[in-house]
């Protein structure tokens, strides 16, 4: 039952974060929000008895992916400035 | 083909009769025209005089072979028509070579002379001949349309294309003539004959004012003589054609002469009354009233 | 044998090893990569060979040592091996083609290239649905990488659009796959198939998602903007790979997953396919950029393939054959065209004119275009034939019509493009370098098309009897193209002569009808070839295409079945198209010829298909027993044939096509080619003579023929261009022939035959003569000529005889036709039609006079003072024809009696009665020989009479016209030949207003405007394209599921 | 509440996430935002996949002390979707990295992140 | 706005589609045959305690091969696209990072690397494996680059690792064909004792190569993005 509640809370958080990721004017916030979505997703995976997936999602989805986003964004900003 | 010299002789004789009658007829027409215009006019023998004079002129020039051949074509056209035309009904001797072909042959042979003449004139240096020819051809095409309808109408009516048979079918009383049995076809044809004879209002082709000289003048001397000969023959043969098709043909030369004179006179008469058409007017005209008459003739079949 | 798994191993090993190589070793690394590609090709090829020749069984390859569904399995069967071989060969050739690019861009691109093909190979072999997803993804990403080969902004943005679109699509696919896994508990395709998921509520949706994702990978219209941008922006070498290899793999995948969907999928796929086929081709019409055009065409072809797959239930076991034919033509031809695009390097299709500096490339391009459109002898021809036949057999008429319409539209832009390549001005275009590594792949795929086409032909029994030896002869002539023209001319004449020798005698014995036509085609061909000696230089490409036309014509005659007939018909169309487009200003006219021919051919195809429906036979005899839809069938076939006879409404191609053609081509395409339509019409009418529907159809046909005669002749009268005048005259003459046939009486047909023979002779005479004159004076315009009678008397006499014959003035043979015509008309009772025909006949005098007088009479132009008589090589055939004409005129019974016997087979009553030379009908009589003698004798007598009288006539200069009362002011005004029938035009010109041209232009405008409007959906915005994809999915879902 | 299972909640979350991702893909004009939309879409799909493999009240498919070695079939969740998701995540990363690189390259060429400015190819 | 409403409607349509898809979904209560087979027979057949690993590396090894290929492709494309054209200046003016970060990274990076290696070596026993390990290694690299932006990362080394591990992967697969039952067959090496490091046949070997390869590929992507950091 506790799992259920956590799942619901995280699910709602994921959706909120997703909306922020899509709609926030600041791209940096968007990228972070997307990373957070991944992070929360990996918690969901843990709940769903998928530790392998959770690890991967944490490392790749919220980690590397976000880093790549920032690298690109950073480059774009530098070119602008 | 077995050469029947008797036949050839009579054919030649017929040709001479037609030629002389044609010359006389043209003199009569001019005389009548002059009298209508309150002039005295030419003597009746004037065409013979002209003809002899033309043939006698010695100075001759030529612009080339086609120029030279033009009058030959022209005269061949006239003589050829004569040859394929039965003249006097019921006479084996005066029907020439009409058994070798039928009405279609006559219709198409008309073009033989025209085409050759056009080409001959074309080789000359005279620009006006071109104008005349183009007008003539233009007008002639449309004349033939009502004419064709009329021909088809009577061919269907009599179920034959043979002129002799058509004449035969009209024997036995005036009411058997096509003019009464098929008045619309006759009307269409009689209107188109106006163009065929080339009198006013359809004489722009050789209009005395606009094209004063054209081929008839460039073709001087002997050439002109040949052309005159042809004109005389052709007018009679054309009139005979209409006579055969619509007015019961002729059983004697006298009948032929009378009927052909009247048919020819019809065109002269109209010419006296109406002013000249421009070429597009005449083209359009032939495709109106005569055409409608022709169509009615066919619908009524 | 080397196992298929090594394809993966070798490709991956190569890709991973390439990282070791330095840029300096790029040649070595390229060789390394090429070796890998070759090895992959070898593996797939040896399997194909084993399947084809050694009854190899389909094998399953289990990975990881476990059987499916527990592990991923691959399958290698005949179909797999065919596709693998096709894809790998294209890959190998593409690699060779891309040598410079790959070498310059470094090892990364080589890796990507190899991996793309590895991905495609596995996609084809795998039987695991998730594995399919992974390798599809590999292929997509590799494609995205290849797109940016040149790193330009357009390529990059196109790559972005591509990657994001395929990203979405694979996401959808993934959802579908996981749902299938949920419902099926397996990822093994064979297992999934057994479960019939389509009957489970959610399962159906899952299957739908997989299906739609695969379809979206195939770029269906209109959710395909991303793909078009890719085709446009990517290097053509890459475009070739995407269009040929990737699309083939996609089609295979679709076929692979189709059993999962079950029968209900066919309908969806068929509908999607036909929409794509029509939509894409329609939009292609407005496209003027070459690569994008190829993109539209590629997508269109894939649409056609989808349609074929969708029609599987109706096509039955023919589906594979049809799909294979279309696919192989598409893949090879499209790859070839893309590669050519890379060589020519011109953004706009007009710039392709540069290609003709390299004749070989032009030939290759032609091969591809014709293969795409479906001309023989390419595989697509046979495939299309089978497709249409099967559709008709299953009563899928609407599908049939739509497919033909789509093909037609595709033909429009492809031939427009080809026309630009052959004819558009190319002086200002930049030179392009030509590299061996680029030309070889293109040549190989072209050769492949011919070879595969030959073998596909053998697969159909009706086509297997086609005699390919003449075609091989043509190939030899083509190979000898470097020889001077006179050598090739001699070879061609010998070839035709031998051909005539082998086939004509048999026809003379057995079949006079075909004998007449075969004589016209072959003897006419030889005669026109004689004129070819007048040409200097090499006349590149002339002889092969002319011979193609003749071979096609003879095929039509020899045809024993519908397929053979159509084969010949298309061959003839192709050959004549090339002949026509050789003319200097022929680009637009050749296109219009091609379009009408193609339209006509498709109508014939449809007609044939419907005619053989339910008869289980393709023999020509099926036309005898048409019962259902007889009116439609006969009309279709008739309209099809009438396009070739240029009957009113379908005639607008003719004046330009014939008028602008070369001097010895005009008689070929006029005097000879048009008779093909006549022959077709005769065959049709003979077959359907007893059909009740024929009566009403021929009545219309009669009117059409008569009016065509009138309008054609009237049009001719107003021409200033000598050859166009003759072209219009041909329209008129063919109108008479059609009219004669339409009467369906003994005399009517006799008229038509007479006109056919006559028109062949006098139109050949006239076109040859006028053509020869044009060669001498360098203009077609009659008002720029004049007085040539003195320079070219032989030409003049020929034209004189020609026009007397044509005009129908006795005593020449034209009158034979006229006389028969009017007798026939009156007996038939078609008076008005007859009167119109007669009127038309008189109008002929107008243009004939204009023709001869403007050119030969009047004043000689200054710049023609030194012209010579026309070439002897023209005079010879002309005078041979004149002799023929004279014989026909003098002894008409020689030909008319046998022809009467032919016609009597079909119309026993109402023929001519012959009494020696005197022919009589119930109403008329005519003695050709005697009339000729009478007229001749009379003419000679009168000539003698004149000569006697004026024997001393003195030859003077033209302007010595003192006997005329008036002298012209300037010599220039003495030759009046411009617009000489102005008055006539004023009175009757309204009849020749270009109503029909305007009508077709209007149609064309409407279609093009529609295309221009619709294609605005491709806004160029990647996001819009994504929206299209999503909308497409939703719409298709709701259309088919609710 | 009895129908409300863990996997259903996560499934719904995944589905909505997919929809939000598509929404972002279709409405955002900024290229990077579009890529963010794509990652959300991808993540949503992954959540859906894992949800589908879940079996109520079972443990991760790793045989350790907590799992009875003789009753594995009744004690672990489905390993297959997890394996698939692993693959899918990595693929997603590759695709995302590619998209971003393309965005970067496009920006370098044209100095704009607006997708509307890349309409050169059309019709 | 109209456009967005339209998109919204379409999305609703799509939502309906997905709802139709999952309307019958009510959670699993049991494993399907396939999964059951993996769970029951997997340990014997493959010898891996982590069933996911068993599936990923052995049963669906071809997928994994494809997957590393995708990363490889992505890395190649990124490298190609961001490759500095010859002649462009490599003017590097980098801000120095703080001493603390620098020092911390010097200690942390090797630890992270080791952790990554641990994760993929133990992939058949515990959660984790080649991908996770590779990603961890790449994260370590990121940290290193953040701390020492000027550090030249050995491209050659990355390429070498990438290529060798890739080729080894393929060779193991081929060896499976030659010496065992099929491509990527696990039984190339003895299965060993269940639950120990040296067990599960070639899984650990493959996972090592996968880990190295993924790590190298991700590092490649990151270093490529990093190196062009300062060129405009």
Report the DSSP pairing between strands C59-62 and C73-76.
antiparallel
Model pLDDT, residue E231:
46
- How many CB atoms lie under 10 A from the CB of residue C1040? 17
Query: Is any Cβ of chain E less than 8 angstroms from the Cβ of D107?
Result: no
Q: Which residues of C806-842 are buried (b: 16+ CB within 10 A; e: fewer)?
A: bbbbbbbbbbbbbbbbbbbbbbbebbbbbbbbbbbbb
Cβ atoms of C705 and C737 closer than 8 Å: yes
For chain E, say whether C65 makes contact (Cβ under 8 Å). Answer: yes
Contact check, Cβ <8 Å, A50/D82:
yes
C128 in helix, strand or coil? strand
DSSP string, C198-251: GGSHHHHHHHHHHHHHHHHHT--TTTTHHHHHHHHHS-HHHHHIIIIIIHHHHH
pLDDT band with cut points at 50, 70 and 90 for residue B237: very high
* Alpha carbon of residue B228 to chain centroid: 13
E45 touches chain D (CB under 8 A): no
pLDDT interval class at B89 (50, 70, 90): confident
User: Is 50 exceeded by the pLDDT of residue A16?
Assistant: yes
CA atoms within 13 A on the CB side of C620: 16
Residues 6 or more apart in contact with residue D73 via CB below 8 angstroms: E31, E36, E39, E40
Considering only CB atoms, C70 lies closest to which of E59, E79, E176, namely E59
Q: How many domains does chain B have?
A: 1
Q: Which residues of E touch C13 (CB under 8 A)?
A: 167, 170-171
Residue C606, pLDDT score = 93
Distance from CA of D63 to the nearest CA of E (A): 5
How close does chain E come to D113, measured CA to CA in Å? Answer: 16
pLDDT bracket for residue C590 (50, 70, 90): very high
Q: Which chains touch B (3 or more CB pairs under 8 A)?
A: C
Nearest Cα to Cα of residue B100 among B232, B4, B205: B4
User: CB of C81 within 8 A of CB of C47?
Assistant: yes
pLDDT band at E116 (very low <50, low <70, confident <90, very high): confident
- Residues in chain B with CB shorter than 8 Å from the CB of C790 are 64
User: Between chains, do B102 and C849 touch, taking CB under 8 Å as contact?
Assistant: no
The DSSP-derived string for C266-279 is HHHHHHHHHHHHHH
Asked if B129 contacts B218 with a C-beta cutoff of 8 angstroms, the reply is yes
Cβ neighbours of C809 in B, within 8 Å: 108-109, 111-112, 115
> If you measure CA to CA, which chain B residue comes closest to C974?
B127
The distance of Cα C928 from the centroid of its chain, to the nearest Å, equals: 43
pLDDT tens digits, one per residue of D73-85: 788 888 899 999 9
Cβ contact, residue pair A63, E218, below 8 Å: no
pLDDT at C740: 94
Closest residue to E59, CB basis, from C66, C185, C1031: C66
pLDDT value of residue E89: 46
What long-range pairs does A56-59 form, CB within 8 A, spacing at least 24? A56/D85, A56/D86, A56/D89, A56/D90, A56/E131, A56/E132, A56/E135, A57/D43, A57/D46, A57/D89, A59/E131, A59/E132, A59/E135, A59/E136, A59/E139
Region E140-155 average pLDDT: 78
pLDDT, position D13 = 92
In a 3-state reduction of DSSP, which class is residue C781?
strand
Q: Please report which confidence band the pLDDT of residue E187 belongs to, taking 50, 70 and 90 as the band edges.
A: confident
Domains assigned to chain D:
6-58+73-117 (1.10.287.3510)
How many CB atoms within 10 Å of residue C504? 17
A with B: touching (≥3 Cβ pairs within 8 Å): no
- On chain E, the residues whose CB falls within 8 A of the CB of D69 are 43
Question: Model confidence over C910-925: pLDDT tens digits?
Answer: 888 888 888 888 888 8
| Size of chain C in residues | 1042
Enumerate residues 6+ apart whose C-beta is below 8 A from C263: C313
Banded model confidence at residue C385, pLDDT cuts 50, 70, 90: very high
d(Cα C299, Cα C1028) in Å, to the nearest integer? 16
Nearest-5° Cα angle at E167, E164 to E168: 80
Rounded mean pLDDT, B129-144: 81
pLDDT in tens, C540-578: 889 999 999 999 999 999 998 999 999 999 999 999 999
Residues C95-143: tens digit of each pLDDT: 999 998 888 888 889 999 999 999 999 999 999 999 999 999 999 999 9
Which of these, C1022, E52, C174, lies nearest to D44 by C-alpha position? C174
- Distance CA(C580)–CA(D6), nearest Å, equals 75
pLDDT value at position C966? 56
* Average pLDDT value for residue range C734-739: 94
**Mean pLDDT across the stretch B132-137?**
81
**SS3 per-residue string spanning E45-83:** HCCCCEHHHHHHHHHCHHHHHHHHHHHHHHHHHHHHHHC
- What residues of chain A lie within 8 A of the CB of D52, using their CB? none
Side-chain half-sphere of E21: how many Cα atoms within 13 Å?
27
Q: Do A48 and D85 touch (CB under 8 A)?
A: no
D99 near A CB under 8 A = no
Task: Tell whether pTM > 0.90.
Answer: yes
* Mean local confidence (pLDDT), C60-74: 86
* pLDDT surpasses 70 at E143: yes
Match 């007048």 to its residue by tokens.
C534
Phi and psi for D55 in degrees, rounded to 5? -120, 135
Centre a 10 Å sphere on the Cβ of residue E65 and count the other Cβ atoms it contains: 30
- Mean pLDDT taken over chain C: 90
* A48/D53 touch (CB, cutoff 8 Å), yes or no: yes
Angle of helix D6-27 relative to helix C1022-1041, nearest 10 degrees, comes to 130
Chain A residues touching E139 at Cβ < 8 A = 59, 63-64, 67
**What b/e sequence results for C922-958 when a residue is b if at least 16 CB atoms lie within 10 Å of its CB, and e otherwise?**
ebbbbbbbbbbbbbeebbeebbebbeebbeebeebeb
Distance of CA B276 to the CA centre of its chain: 19
DSSP-H helix ranges across C829-891: 831-856, 872-890
CA distance B57 to chain C (A): 9
Q: At what angle do helices B221-246 and B103-123 cross, to 10 degrees?
A: 160
Contact C660, C586 (CB under 8 A): yes
In the prediction, which pLDDT does E96 show? 60
Contact list in D for residue C168 (CB cut-off 8 A) is: 22, 25, 38, 41
CB contact under 8 A, A64 and E222: yes
Give the pLDDT band of residue E87 (cuts 50, 70, 90). very low
Helix (H, G, I), strand (E, B) or coil at C918: strand
Using CA atoms of C227, C228, C234, C236 in order, give the dihedral in degrees to the nearest 10.
110
All structural domains of chain E with their residue ranges: 45-80+98-226
Amino acid C56: pLDDT: 87
Which residue(s) pair with C561 in the sheet? C619
Tens digits of residue pLDDT in C297-324: 999 999 999 999 999 999 988 999 999 9
Q: Summarize pLDDT for C958-968 with one digit per residue, the tens.
A: 766 655 555 55
Chain E residues with CB-CB distance to C59 below 8 A: none
pLDDT digit string, tens, across residues B280-301: 888 888 888 888 898 888 888 7
- What per-residue confidence (pLDDT) applies to B212? 44
Q: What is the pLDDT of residues C650-687, one digit of tens each?
A: 999 999 999 889 888 999 999 999 999 999 999 999 98
Say which DSSP state C917 is in.
T
Closest CA to C934 of E211, B105, B128: B105
Among candidates C963, C810, C1000, C965, which has minimal Cα distance to C892? C810
- For residue range C864-892, list pLDDT tens digits in order: 888 999 999 999 999 999 999 999 998 88
Contacts of C223 (CB under 8 A, 6+ apart): C216, C1025, C1028, C1029, C1031, C1032
**DSSP secondary structure of A5-65:** HHHHHHHHHHHHHHHHHHH-S-HHHHHHHHHHHHHHHHHHHHHTT-HHHHHHIIIIIIIIH
Q: Is C186 an 8 Å CB contact of chain E? A: yes
Tell me which range, C641-645, C693-697, E103-107, is most confidently predicted by mean pLDDT. C641-645
The pair of structure tokens assigned to B124 is 């000359």
Interatomic CA distance for residues D75 and D69, integer angstroms: 9
> Chain E residue closest to D97 (CA)?
E74
Stretch 188-207 of chain E: residues touching chain D, C-beta under 8 Å: 195
Q: Residue written as tokens 């590397």?
A: A64
Q: What are the φ/ψ torsions at residue B290 (nearest 5 degrees)?
A: -60, -35
Q: What is the mean pLDDT of chain A?
A: 89
pLDDT, residue B213, reads: 46
Residues of E in contact with D105 (CB under 8 A): 81-82
Interface predicted TM-score of the whole assembly (ipTM), two decimals:
0.88
Whole-Å CA distances, C1013 to C170, C303, C1018: 31, 21, 10
Average pLDDT, integer, range C218-244: 92
Q: How many CB pairs under 8 A join D and E?
A: 148
Higher confidence at residue C226 or residue B220? C226
């Amino acid at each position: 039952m506790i799992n259920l509640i956590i799942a619901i809370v995280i699910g709602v958080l994921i959706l909120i974060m997703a909306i922020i990721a899509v709609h926030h004017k600041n791209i940096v916030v968007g990228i972070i929000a997307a990373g957070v979505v991944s992070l929360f997703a990996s918690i969901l995976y843990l709940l769903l008895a998928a530790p392998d997936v959770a690890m991967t999602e944490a490392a790749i989805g919220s980690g590397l992916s976000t880093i790549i986003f920032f690298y690109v964004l950073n480059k774009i900003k530098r070119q602008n400035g | 083909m077995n050469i029947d010299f008797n036949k050839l002789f009579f054919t030649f004789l017929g040709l001479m009769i037609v030629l002389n009658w044609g010359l006389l007829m043209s003199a009569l027409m001019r005389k009548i025209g002059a009298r209508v215009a309150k002039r005295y006019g030419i003597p009746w023998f004037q065409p013979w005089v002209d003809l002899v004079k033309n043939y006698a002129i010695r100075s001759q020039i030529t612009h080339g072979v086609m120029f030279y051949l033009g009058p030959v074509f022209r005269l061949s056209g006239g003589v050829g028509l004569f040859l394929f035309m039965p003249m006097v009904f019921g006479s084996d001797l005066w029907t020439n070579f009409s058994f070798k072909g039928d009405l279609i042959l006559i219709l198409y042979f008309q073009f033989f002379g025209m085409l050759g003449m056009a080409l001959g004139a074309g080789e000359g240096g005279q620009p006006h001949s071109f104008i005349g020819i183009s007008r003539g051809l233009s007008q002639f095409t449309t004349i033939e349309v009502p004419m064709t309808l009329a021909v088809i109408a009577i061919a269907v009516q009599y179920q034959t294309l043979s002129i002799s048979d058509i004449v035969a079918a009209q024997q036995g009383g005036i009411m058997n003539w096509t003019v009464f049995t098929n008045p619309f076809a006759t009307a269409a044809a009689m209107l188109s004959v106006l163009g065929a004879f080339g009198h006013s209002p359809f004489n722009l082709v050789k209009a005395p004012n606009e094209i004063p000289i054209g081929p008839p003048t460039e073709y001087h001397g002997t050439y002109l003589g040949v052309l005159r000969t042809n004109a005389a023959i052709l007018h009679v043969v054309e009139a005979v054609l209409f006579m055969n098709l619509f007015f019961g043909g002729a059983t004697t030369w006298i009948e032929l002469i009378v009927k052909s004179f009247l048919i020819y006179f019809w065109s002269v008469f109209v010419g006296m009354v109406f002013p000249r058409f421009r070429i597009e007017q005449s083209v359009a005209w032939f495709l109106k009233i005569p055409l409608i008459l022709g169509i009615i003739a066919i619908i009524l079949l | 044998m080397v196992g298929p798994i090594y394809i993966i191993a070798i490709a991956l090993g190569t890709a991973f090893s390439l990282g070791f190589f330095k840029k300096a070793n790029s040649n070595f690394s390229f060789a390394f990569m090429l070796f890998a590609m070759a090895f992959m090709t070898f593996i797939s090829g040896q399997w194909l060979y084993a399947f084809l020749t050694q009854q190899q069984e389909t094998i399953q390859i289990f990975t990881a040592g476990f059987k499916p569904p527990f592990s991923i399995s691959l399958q290698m069967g005949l179909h797999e091996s065919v596709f693998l071989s096709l894809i790998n060969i294209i890959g190998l050739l593409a690699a060779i083609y891309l040598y410079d690019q790959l070498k310059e861009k470094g090892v990364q691109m080589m890796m990507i290239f190899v991996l793309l093909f590895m991905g495609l190979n596995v996609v084809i072999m795998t039987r695991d649905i998730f594995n399919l997803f992974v390798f599809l993804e590999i292929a997509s990403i590799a494609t995205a990488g290849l797109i940016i080969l040149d790193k330009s902004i357009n390529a990059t943005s196109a790559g972005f659009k591509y990657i994001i679109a395929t990203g979405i699509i694979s996401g959808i696919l993934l959802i579908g796959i996981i749902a299938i896994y949920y419902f099926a508990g397996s990822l093994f395709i064979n297992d999934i198939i057994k479960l019939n998921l389509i009957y489970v509520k959610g399962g159906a949706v899952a299957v739908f998602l997989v299906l739609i994702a695969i379809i979206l990978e195939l770029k269906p219209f209109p959710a395909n903007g991303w793909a078009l941008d890719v085709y446009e922006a990517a290097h053509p070498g890459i475009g070739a790979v995407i269009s040929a290899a990737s699309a083939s793999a996609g089609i295979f995948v679709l076929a692979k997953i189709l059993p999962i969907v079950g029968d209900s999928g066919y309908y969806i796929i068929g509908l999607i396919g036909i929409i794509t086929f029509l939509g894409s081709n329609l939009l292609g019409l407005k496209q003027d950029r070459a690569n994008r055009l190829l993109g539209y065409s590629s997508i269109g072809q894939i649409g056609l393939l989808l349609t074929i797959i969708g029609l599987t239930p109706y096509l039955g076991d023919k589906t594979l054959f049809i799909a294979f034919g279309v696919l192989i033509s598409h893949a090879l031809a499209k790859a070839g065209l893309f590669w050519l695009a890379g060589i020519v390097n011109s953004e706009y299709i007009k710039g392709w004119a540069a290609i003709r500096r390299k004749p070989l490339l032009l030939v290759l391009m032609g091969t591809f275009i014709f293969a795409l459109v479906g001309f023989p002898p390419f595989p697509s021809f046979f495939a299309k034939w089978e497709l249409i036949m099967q559709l008709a057999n299953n009563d899928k008429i609407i599908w049939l019509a739509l497919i033909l319409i789509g093909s037609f539209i595709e033909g429009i832009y492809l031939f427009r493009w080809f026309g630009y390549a052959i004819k558009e001005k190319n002086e200002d275009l930049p030179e392009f370098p030509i590299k061996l590594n680029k030309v070889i792949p293109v040549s190989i795929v072209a050769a492949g098309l011919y070879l595969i086409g030959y073998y596909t032909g053998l697969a159909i029994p009706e086509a297997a009897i086609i005699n390919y030896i003449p075609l091989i002869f043509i190939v030899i002539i083509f190979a000898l193209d470097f020889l001077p023209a006179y050598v090739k001319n001699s070879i061609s004449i010998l070839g035709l002569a031998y051909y005539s020798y082998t086939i004509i005698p048999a026809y003379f014995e057995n079949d006079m009808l075909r004998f007449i036509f075969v004589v016209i085609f072959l003897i006419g061909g030889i005669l026109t070839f004689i004129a070819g000696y007048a040409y200097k230089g090499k006349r590149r490409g002339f002889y092969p295409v002319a011979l193609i036309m003749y071979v096609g014509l003879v095929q039509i005659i020899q045809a024993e079945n519908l397929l053979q007939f159509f084969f010949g018909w298309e061959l003839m169309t192709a050959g004549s198209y090339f002949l026509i487009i050789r003319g200097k200003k022929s680009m637009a006219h050749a296109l219009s010829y091609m379009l009408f021919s193609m339209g006509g051919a498709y109508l014939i195809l449809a007609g044939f298909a419907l005619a053989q429906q339910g008869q289980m036979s393709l023999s020509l005899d099926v036309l005898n027993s048409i019962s259902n839809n007889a009116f439609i069938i006969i009309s279709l076939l008739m309209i099809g044939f009438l396009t070739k006879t240029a009957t009113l409404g379908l005639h607008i191609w003719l004046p330009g096509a014939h008028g602008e053609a070369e001097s010895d081509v005009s008689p070929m395409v006029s005097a000879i080619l048009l008779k093909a339509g006549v022959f077709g019409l005769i065959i049709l009418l003979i077959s359907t003579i007893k059909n009740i529907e024929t009566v009403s159809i021929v009545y219309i046909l009669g009117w059409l023929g008569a009016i065509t005669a009138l309008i054609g002749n009237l049009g001719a009268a107003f021409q200033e261009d000598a050859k166009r005048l003759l072209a219009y005259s041909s329209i008129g003459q063919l109108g008479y022939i059609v009219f004669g046939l339409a009467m369906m009486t003994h005399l009517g047909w006799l008229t038509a035959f007479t006109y056919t023979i006559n028109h062949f002779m006098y139109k050949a005479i006239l076109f040859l003569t006028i053509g020869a004159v044009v060669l001498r004076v360098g203009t077609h315009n009659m008002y720029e000529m004049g007085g040539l009678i003195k320079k070219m008397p032989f030409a003049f006499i020929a034209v004189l005889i020609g026009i007397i014959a044509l005009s129908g003035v006795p005593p020449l043979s034209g009158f034979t036709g006229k006389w028969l015509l009017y007798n026939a008309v009156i007996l038939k009772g078609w008076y008005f039609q007859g009167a119109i025909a007669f009127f038309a006949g008189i109008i002929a005098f107008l243009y004939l006079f204009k023709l001869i007088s403007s050119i030969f009479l009047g004043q000689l132009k200054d710049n023609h003072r030194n012209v010579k008589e026309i070439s002897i090589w023209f005079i010879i055939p002309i005078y041979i024809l004149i002799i023929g004409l004279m014989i026909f005129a003098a002894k008409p019974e020689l030909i008319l009696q046998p022809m009467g016997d032919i016609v009597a087979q079909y119309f026993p009553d109402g023929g001519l009665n012959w009494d020696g030379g005197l022919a009589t009908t119930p109403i008329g009589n005519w003695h050709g020989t005697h009339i000729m003698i009478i007229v001749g004798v009379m003419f000679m007598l009168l000539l003698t009479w004149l000569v006697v009288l004026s024997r001393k006539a003195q030859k003077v200069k033209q302007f010595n016209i003192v006997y005329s009362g008036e002298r012209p002011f300037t010599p220039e005004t003495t030759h009046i030949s411009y617009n000489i029938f102005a008055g006539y035009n004023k009175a009757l010109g309204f009849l020749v207003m270009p109503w029909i041209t305007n009508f077709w232009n209007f149609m064309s405008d409407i279609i093009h405007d529609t295309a221009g409007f619709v294609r605005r959906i491709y806004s160029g915005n990647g996001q819009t394209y994504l929206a299209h994809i999503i909308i497409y999915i939703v719409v298709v879902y709701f259309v088919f599921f609710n | 509440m009895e129908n409300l299972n863990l996997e259903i909640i996560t499934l719904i979350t995944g589905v909505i996430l997919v929809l939000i991702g598509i929404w972002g893909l279709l409405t955002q004009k900024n290229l990077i935002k579009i890529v963010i939309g794509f990652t959300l879409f991808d993540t949503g799909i992954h959540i859906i996949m894992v949800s589908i493999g879940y079996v109520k009240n079972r443990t991760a498919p790793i045989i350790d002390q907590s799992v009875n070695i003789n009753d594995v079939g009744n004690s672990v969740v489905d390993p297959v979707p997890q394996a698939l998701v692993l693959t899918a995540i990595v693929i997603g990363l590759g695709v995302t990295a590619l998209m971003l690189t393309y965005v970067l390259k496009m920006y370098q060429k044209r100095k704009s992140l607006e997708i509307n400015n890349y309409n050169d190819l059309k019709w | 706005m109209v456009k967005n409403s339209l998109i919204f409607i379409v999305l609703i349509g799509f939502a309906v589609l997905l709802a139709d898809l999952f309307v019958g979904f009510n959670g699993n209560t049991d494993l399907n045959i396939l999964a059951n087979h993996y769970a029951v027979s997997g340990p014997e057949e493959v010898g891996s305690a982590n069933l996911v690993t068993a599936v990923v590396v052995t049963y669906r090894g071809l997928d994994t091969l494809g997957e590393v290929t995708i990363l490889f492709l992505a890395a190649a494309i990124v490298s190609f696209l961001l490759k500095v054209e010859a002649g462009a200046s490599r003017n590097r003016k980098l801000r120095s990072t703080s001493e603390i970060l620098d020092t911390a990274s010097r200690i942390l990076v090797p630890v992270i690397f080791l952790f990554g290696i641990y994760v993929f070596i133990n992939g058949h026993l515990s959660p984790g494996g080649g991908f996770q390990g590779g990603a961890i290694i790449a994260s370590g690299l990121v940290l290193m680059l953040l701390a020492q932006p000027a550090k030249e990362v050995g491209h050659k080394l990355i390429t070498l690792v990438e290529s060798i591990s890739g080729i080894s992967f393929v060779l193991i697969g081929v060896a499976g064909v030659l010496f065992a039952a099929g491509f990527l067959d696990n039984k190339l090496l003895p299965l060993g004792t269940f639950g120990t490091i040296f067990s599960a046949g070639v899984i650990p070997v493959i996972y090592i190569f996968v880990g190295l390869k993924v790590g190298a590929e991700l590092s490649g992507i990151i270093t490529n993005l990093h190196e062009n950091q300062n060129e405009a």
